[in-house]
Amino acid sequence: MTNPLGAAEPLAHDVQDPTPVAKPLKAPAGRLIAVRGAVVDVEFDGATLPLIDESLSIIADQGPPIIAEVQAHLDTTTVRALALQATNGLRRGAPVEASGAPIQVPVGEAMLGRLIDVTGTPGDRGEPLPADVPLRPIHRAAPPLASQGAATEIFATGIKVIDLLTPLAQGGKAAMFGGAGVGKTVLVMELIHAMVERYQGISVFAGVGERSREGHEMLLDMRNSGVLPRTVLVYGQMNEPPGARWRVPLTALTIAEYFRDERHQNVLLLMDNIFRFVQAGAEVSGLLGRLPSRVGYQPTLASEVAALQERIVSVGNVSVTAIEAVYVPADDFTDPAVTTIAAHVDSMVVLSRSMAAEGMYPAIDPIASSSILLDPLVVGAEHAAVATEVRRTIEHYRELQDVISLLGVEELGADDRRIVGRARRLQRFLTQPFAVTEAFTGVPGRSVPVADTLAGCKAILAGECDTWQESSLYMVGTLEEARERENASHAATPANDGGAPQRATA
HEC profile of 8-75: CCCCCCCCCCCCCCCCCCCCCEEEEEEEECCEEEEEECCCCCCCCCCEEEECCCCCCCEEEEEEEECC
Neighbours of 167 (CB within 10 A): 25
The pLDDT score that the predictor gives to residue 435 is 86
The pLDDT score that the predictor gives to residue 124 is 86
User: If you average pLDDT over residues 430-459, what whole number do you get?
Assistant: 92
Instruction: Name the 3-class secondary structure at 174.
Output: strand
Measure the CA–CA gap between 471 and 212, rounded to whole angstroms. 38
Active site annotation includes 458: no
Indicate if 381-491 has the same CATH topology as 106-126+133-370. Answer: no
The pLDDT score that the predictor gives to residue 362 is 94
**Would you place residue 196 in the very low, low, confident or very high pLDDT band (cuts 50, 70, 90)?**
low
Backbone angles phi, psi at 190, to 5 degrees: -65, -35
**Does residue 155 or residue 13 have the better pLDDT?**
155
Backbone angles phi, psi at 483, to 5 degrees: -65, -40
The annotation status of 183 as a binding-site residue, yes or no, is yes
Give yes or no for a contact between 56 and 69, defined as CB atoms under 8 angstroms apart.
Answer: yes
User: If you average pLDDT over residues 216-226, what whole number do you get?
Assistant: 80
Q: pLDDT (tens digit, 9 = 90+) per residue, 286-295?
A: 999 999 999 9
Q: pLDDT (tens digit, 9 = 90+) per residue, 160-175?
A: 999 999 999 888 899 9
**Does residue 390 or residue 226 have the better pLDDT?**
390
Q: How many alpha carbons lie under 13 Å from residue 262 in its C-beta half-sphere? A: 16
Please say if the pLDDT value at position 13 is more than 70. Answer: no
Q: Supply the CATH classification number for the domain 29-102.
A: 2.40.10.170
The annotation status of 182 as a binding-site residue, yes or no, is yes
HEC profile of 348-376: EEEECHHHHHCCCCCCECCCCCEECCCCH
**Would you place residue 12 in the very low, low, confident or very high pLDDT band (cuts 50, 70, 90)?**
very low
Instruction: Name the 3-class secondary structure at 201.
Output: coil
Amino acid identity of residue 173, one-letter, is: K
Q: How many alpha carbons lie under 13 Å from residue 273 in its C-beta half-sphere? A: 25
The annotation status of 179 as a binding-site residue, yes or no, is yes
Give yes or no for a contact between 371 and 353, defined as CB atoms under 8 angstroms apart.
Answer: no
User: If you average pLDDT over residues 250-273, what whole number do you get?
Assistant: 93
**Would you place residue 235 in the very low, low, confident or very high pLDDT band (cuts 50, 70, 90)?**
very high
Measure the CA–CA gap between 371 and 369, rounded to whole angstroms. 7
Burial class (CB in 10 A: 0-12, 13-18, 19+), 324: buried
User: If you average pLDDT over residues 179-192, what whole number do you get?
Assistant: 86
The pLDDT score that the predictor gives to residue 57 is 95
Active site annotation includes 210: yes
The pLDDT score that the predictor gives to residue 26 is 58
Sheet containing 231-236: order of strands: 115-116, 231-236, 202-208, 267-272, 320-327, 173-178, 347-350, 370-371
Q: Name the catalytic one among 54, 69, 190, 210.
A: 210
The pLDDT score that the predictor gives to residue 494 is 61
**Would you place residue 110 in the very low, low, confident or very high pLDDT band (cuts 50, 70, 90)?**
very high
The annotation status of 181 as a binding-site residue, yes or no, is yes
- What homologous superfamily is domain 106-126+133-370 in, according to CATH? P-loop containing nucleotide triphosphate hydrolases (3.40.50.300)
The pLDDT score that the predictor gives to residue 437 is 86
Q: Name the catalytic one among 36, 92, 211, 294.
A: 211
**Does residue 476 or residue 200 have the better pLDDT?**
476
**Would you place residue 25 in the very low, low, confident or very high pLDDT band (cuts 50, 70, 90)?**
very low
Helix or strand run (H / E) with residue 206: strand 202-208
Give yes or no for a contact between 137 and 8, defined as CB atoms under 8 angstroms apart.
Answer: yes
Q: pLDDT (tens digit, 9 = 90+) per residue, 337-394?
A: 999 999 999 999 999 999 999 999 999 999 999 999 999 999 999 999 999 999 999 9
Closest CA to 163 of 483, 436, 390: 390
CATH fold of 381-491: 1.10.1140
Instruction: Name the 3-class secondary structure at 127.
Output: coil
Give yes or no for a contact between 90 and 40, defined as CB atoms under 8 angstroms apart.
Answer: yes
Active site annotation includes 140: no
- Is-cis flag, bond preceding 496, omega within 30? no
Please say if the pLDDT value at position 24 is more than 50. Answer: no
Secondary structure (DSSP) of 423-452 = HHHHHHHT----GGGHHHH-PPP----HHH
Please say if the pLDDT value at position 454 is more than 50. Answer: yes
Q: Indicate the DSSP class of residue 387.
A: H
Please say if the pLDDT value at position 267 is more than 50. Answer: yes
**Does residue 443 or residue 503 have the better pLDDT?**
443
Backbone angles phi, psi at 119, to 5 degrees: -95, 5
Q: Name the catalytic one among 136, 140, 184, 260.
A: 184
Measure the CA–CA gap between 459 and 480, rounded to whole angstroms. 11
The annotation status of 178 as a binding-site residue, yes or no, is yes
The annotation status of 184 as a binding-site residue, yes or no, is yes
Q: pLDDT (tens digit, 9 = 90+) per residue, 395-441?
A: 999 999 999 999 988 889 999 999 999 999 999 999 999 988 888 88
Neighbours of 16 (CB within 10 A): 10
Please say if the pLDDT value at position 97 is more than 90. Answer: yes
Using CA atoms in the order 40, 44, 50, 54, what is the torsion angle rounded to 10 degrees?
-30
Parse the chain into domains and list their residue ranges.
Answer: 29-102, 106-126+133-370, 381-491
Distances (CA, A) of 254 to 123, 319, 401: 18, 14, 49
User: If you average pLDDT over residues 144-157, what whole number do you get?
Assistant: 83
The pLDDT score that the predictor gives to residue 302 is 96
Mean pLDDT, the chain, as a whole number? 88
Measure the CA–CA gap between 347 and 352, rounded to whole angstroms. 16
